[in-house]
Amino acid sequence: MQENPEKNLANSTIIEDKLVFVRYNKDVENYHLAKKEHRKIMIRILSDSTCDLSPALIEKYGIGIIPLNIVLDGKSYEDGLDITPDKIYAWADENKTVPKTAACAPGRVKEIFERYLKDGDEIICFSISASMSSTNDIMRAVAQETGAKDRISIINSQSLSTGVGLQVITAAEMAQSGMKREKIVEEVKKLRSRVSASFVVDTLTYLHRGGRCSGVSALLGATLRIHPQINVIDGKMLPGQKYRGKMHKVIAEYTKDQLDEMKKARKNHVFITHSGCDQKMIDAALEQVKALNYFDEIHITRAGGVISSHCGPGTLGVLYIRGE
């Protein structure tokens, strides 16, 4: 993972995570093998690929990634492994439709679980909201089949994208501190309702055709160009505030509307996650978040294939964990 030099500005570290096409699980496996000589039983943190964490964060926290699938012309591609968001957009433009996505394959989940279980380790595995995908059900079924259910905890994140990612790295930090698996699960479940996951979209076409956001269809007939804020509430995507105008102005207004709540958020991490925005749009959000002089780390990340398939290009969100 090649990352821009970190820029220390006031108390925040800005980390610009470029989209890198990697084979997540092989990289993570090699990372752990290098440390295996004098190892003890560990708590392994896993997530499906919709967590949209960068390769740098995946390596830093030793996260195992289970890929979901994107289906184009009847052929299935593993998210983050076989296809990039830009190729998905090109296919969608050419075919005048949006791609289909599918949950992780049970055999793939079993393969990855067993990779960690064979050393006697314990697993905490996160999924995209169970209201949006059958991935959580598949993970639970596979955990039963392994015969090691007592060493596996499956968490329904009730979120998506780096709303999942925030929970994943929180769990990883707890595991690194020596916290027991059961306690980590308890603490993560307490905070998941405080995850603020929202975004504004440039086009409604992807969300409408994907059918996963209730209420979007009613906005399609508007005569003025509308860019709704989509909020994840109780695991479901729902339209909220409606913005009008050019997208860089919309993003600036959307970010401004989050500032008061951000000042009370957990300070360690905030994500600016986008599905392919130009730098002007990213900067419209970054400059306001940075000006708060509040967060320890500001991560700028690119959404992966599954999330991009549903929101389309030009989408941007600011995601964080609200204060208690």
Q: Which of these, 282, 323, 269, 316, lies nearest to 57 by C-alpha position?
A: 269
67-100 pLDDT per residue, tens? 999 999 999 999 999 999 999 999 988 998 888 9
Do 241 and 116 lie in a common domain?
no
Q: What is the pLDDT of residue 22?
A: 46
Do 144 and 221 lie in a common domain?
no
Q: Read off φ and ψ for residue 142, nearest 5 degrees.
A: -65, -40
Instruction: Judge whether 7 lies within some domain.
Output: no
| Least reliable range by pLDDT among 94-108, 188-202, 213-227, 307-321 | 213-227
Do 309 and 238 lie in a common domain?
yes
Residue 215 sits in a domain whose CATH number is 3.30.1180.10
Do 208 and 308 lie in a common domain?
yes
- Name the domain boundary from 156, 177, 192: 192
DSSP letter at 39 equals: -
Q: Give the mean pLDDT of the chain.
A: 86
Burial class for 45, CB neighbours closer than 10 Å (0-12, 13-18, 19+): buried
Q: Flag whether pLDDT at 145 surpasses 50.
A: yes
Contact 46, 64 (CB under 8 A): yes
**Domain of residue 132, residue span:** 19-192
CA dist., res. 146 & res. 67, Å (int): 19
Q: How many CA atoms lie within 13 A of 63 on its CB side?
A: 32
Q: Flag whether pLDDT at 208 surpasses 60.
A: no
DSSP letter at 192 equals: G
- Name the domain boundary from 167, 192, 217: 192
Instruction: Judge whether 9 lies within some domain.
Output: no
**How many domains is the chain built from?**
2
165-199 pLDDT per residue, tens? 999 999 999 999 999 999 999 999 999 999 999 99
Instruction: Judge whether 53 lies within some domain.
Output: yes
- Name the domain boundary from 173, 192, 211: 192
Contact 90, 96 (CB under 8 A): no
73 Rama sector, left if φ>0, alpha if ψ -120 to 50, beta otherwise: left
Residues 6+ apart with CB under 8 A from 53: 47, 63, 65, 162, 165, 168, 169, 301
Neighbours of 78 (CB within 10 A): 20
Do 138 and 249 lie in a common domain?
no
Instruction: Judge whether 6 lies within some domain.
Output: no
Residue 127 sits in a domain whose CATH number is 3.40.50.10170
Do 46 and 98 lie in a common domain?
yes
Do 242 and 153 lie in a common domain?
no
Question: Angle of helix 106-117 relative to helix 135-146, nearest 10 degrees?
Answer: 50
CA dist., res. 84 & res. 77, Å (int): 10
Do 86 and 101 lie in a common domain?
yes
Instruction: Judge whether 29 lies within some domain.
Output: yes
4-32 pLDDT per residue, tens? 434 444 456 777 665 544 445 554 544 44
SS3 202: coil
Do 112 and 241 lie in a common domain?
no
Do 283 and 224 lie in a common domain?
yes
Secondary structure (DSSP) of 50-100: GG---HHHHHHHT-EEE--EEEETTEEEEBTTTB-HHHHHHHHHHHTS--E
Contact 244, 227 (CB under 8 A): yes
Instruction: Judge whether 180 lies within some domain.
Output: yes
Instruction: Judge whether 117 lies within some domain.
Output: yes
Instruction: Judge whether 2 lies within some domain.
Output: no
Do 167 and 260 lie in a common domain?
no
Do 225 and 150 lie in a common domain?
no
